[in-house]
Amino acid sequence: MSKALFPRACAALSRRGALLVLGLGLASACDRRLLPGGASGGALPSGAVVLSALPPPPPLPAAPALPPGPGAQAPASFAALAAAADPAVVFVKTLQEQRILTGRRVVGEGLGSAFVYDSNGLILTNNHVIENASEIRVIFGRTREMSATVVGRDPPTDVAVLRVDAKGLASLPLGDSDGVRVGDWVVAIGNPFGLQHTVSAGILSAKGRTSQDVKGLDESGYYEFLQTDASINPGNSGGPLLDTGGRVVGINTAIRAEANSIGFAIPVNMVRDILPRLLKDGGIKRSAVGVQVSSVLPDDVARLGLAVALGALVRVVVPGGPADVAGLKVDDVIMEFDSKPIAGPERLRWLASLAGVGNEVGLKVARGSRLFELRVKLVELPSAPPAPRALPFP
């Protein structure tokens, strides 16, 4: 299939807010046909397996009495946690070389944070900390400095893995970002403004922040940020966000410049999903369904006769792409991907991107009041050119 079908989304097709690109992008100059769908639905795709009518909306559950989580009780002091975690947090210095439009070479120094997650010399940080670096130095404590090499990096998630030639290093365990709850205590450790080994504490303020919540991000990226009010500043990028058990639940990555104490971290479970591929291949080869999707809004529920405002609403189908071949239409709602429930478009984008080029997966789809399954064979998602960052990255 021609890569002419894969440029970025065209703003002219953005109905009710920005579209999220899932799989294949829009064709040049929005050269695209919108496939008919709607509440009436029409005939189902050939090969579709009809499941049933959509179930009625579930009743609202009573608020459960939640047991205390790992961060529910505020400790009298974070000193023991900080002392145990600090040896695994490192200061990153980079020498960065770029050529500007005149052809002149510009050399600068970058600063950031990182942490050892494997005692055999493997380190996690942000991609933007080491991007364009010709040399990377990692400082342990205040005096031990070592050269580091890039094992793998993934710009769409802003994750990078480094390696130093050392064994038996202090390391931090990776925790569970799904298990940490809004309101739980968290601790950030890093090197803001070059002030090495700075500790700050706060709570987890929110989960699942996307490019719709955090403006200025490259919309081709993948975002499910944890939000915290623990102090994060320039230089904190790449450092760990810890639960009160000292486990990493996120990698600190961005701030809201005009706000006070609003910082964002990449959930560690997203990192877990891509880590094996970064170690093996050095990068991520992403797969694509061939649609653009958005959230299901309340008026979509009424217009399409849906039971609930869940799933990913198909706004655009790429002609000749996997979804088109399988019979997916505009206004279909993808409820499951490969037997995994889809709460919204960002979840679908993430799962589809990692499912594997050439693999065939099942989709559970709602078309009006009907529910059916179909299968699609995924194709490769070409890399989008990097977009300039408008959001301050610490």
- Read off the CATH number of the domain in which 367 is found: 2.30.42.10
Both 245 and 337 in one domain: the answer is no
- Determine the pLDDT at residue 39: 45
184 a catalytic residue: no
Give the model's pLDDT for residue 258: 67
Clarify whether residues 208 and 321 are in a common domain.
no
Cα–Cα distance, 215 to 225 (Å, whole number): 12
pLDDT at position 69 is: 53
Residue 150: give its domain's CATH number: 2.40.10.120
b or e along 46-82 (b: 16 or more beta carbons within 10 Å of the residue's beta carbon)? eebeeeeebeeeeeeeeeeeeeeebbeeeeeebeebb
**CB under 8 Å, gap of 24 or more: what pairs does 97-100 form?**
97/132, 97/134, 98/132
**DSSP secondary structure, 297-314, as one string:** -HHHHHHHT-SSS-SEEE
pLDDT in the model for residue 394: 60
Provide the angle, in degrees to the nearest 10, between the axes of the packed helices 268-281 and 345-354: 20
Listed residues 226, 261, 281: the one ending a domain:
281
Are 233 and 367 found together in one domain?
no
User: Pairing relation of β-strands 340-341 and 333-337?
Assistant: antiparallel
pLDDT for res 41: 57
CA angle 242, 248, 254 (to 5 degrees): 75
pLDDT at 35: 41
Q: Indicate the pTM of the whole model.
A: 0.79
* Domain annotation covers residue 138: no
Task: Give the DSSP letter of residue 89.
Answer: E
Nearest-10 Cα torsion for 28, 31, 37, 42: -130
| 3-state SS assignment for residue 271 | helix
Please give the structure tokens belonging to residue 119. 């005692």
Position 387 scores a pLDDT of 53
Q: Domain for residue 394, yes or no?
A: no
Question: CA–CA distance from 368 to each of 36, 137, 255, 300 (Å)?
Answer: 13, 57, 41, 10
Instruction: Name the domain boundary from 253, 281, 309.
Output: 281
**In the prediction, which pLDDT does 233 show?**
85
How far is Cα 10 from Cα 175, in angstroms, rounded to an integer? 38
Instruction: Tell me, yes or no, if 158 is annotated catalytic.
Output: yes
Domain that residue 165 falls in: 75-90+112-129+146-281
Question: At a CB cut-off of 8 Å and minimum separation 6, what does 62 contact?
Answer: none
**Do 323 and 221 reside in the same domain of the chain?**
no
Question: Same domain for 82 and 215?
Answer: yes
Reading the block at residue 224, the tokens are 């499910």
Does 166 share its domain with 246? yes
- Give the integer Cα–Cα distance in Å for 339 and 363: 7
Catalytic residue among 211, 220, 231, 237: 237
Catalytic residue flag (residue 237): yes
Both 118 and 35 in one domain: the answer is no
Looking at the chain, list the stretches that DSSP marks H as alpha helix, in order from N- to C-terminal side: 79-85, 127-130, 268-281, 298-304, 322-326, 345-354
Q: Residue 144 CB: number of other CB atoms within 10 A?
A: 10
Considering the domain architecture, whether residues 166 and 275 belong to the same structural domain is answered as: yes
Q: Is residue 214 part of a domain?
A: yes
Do the domain assignments include residue 137?
A: no
Separation of alpha carbons 127 and 277, rounded Å? 15
What value, to the nearest 5°, has the Cα angle with vertex 146 and ends 86 and 78? 5
- pLDDT recorded at residue 5: 34
Q: What is the mean pLDDT of each run of 10 residues along the chain (394 residues)?
A: 36 36 33 42 74 58 52 77 95 85 76 96 96 93 92 96 96 96 95 87 93 77 93 90 96 78 92 97 96 93 90 95 95 96 94 97 93 95 61 52
> Could you give the number of structural domains in the chain?
2
Is 98 a member of any domain?
no
| Pair 241, 289 in one domain | no
Gyration radius (Cα) of the chain, Å: 22
Q: Are residues 269 and 341 in the same domain?
A: no
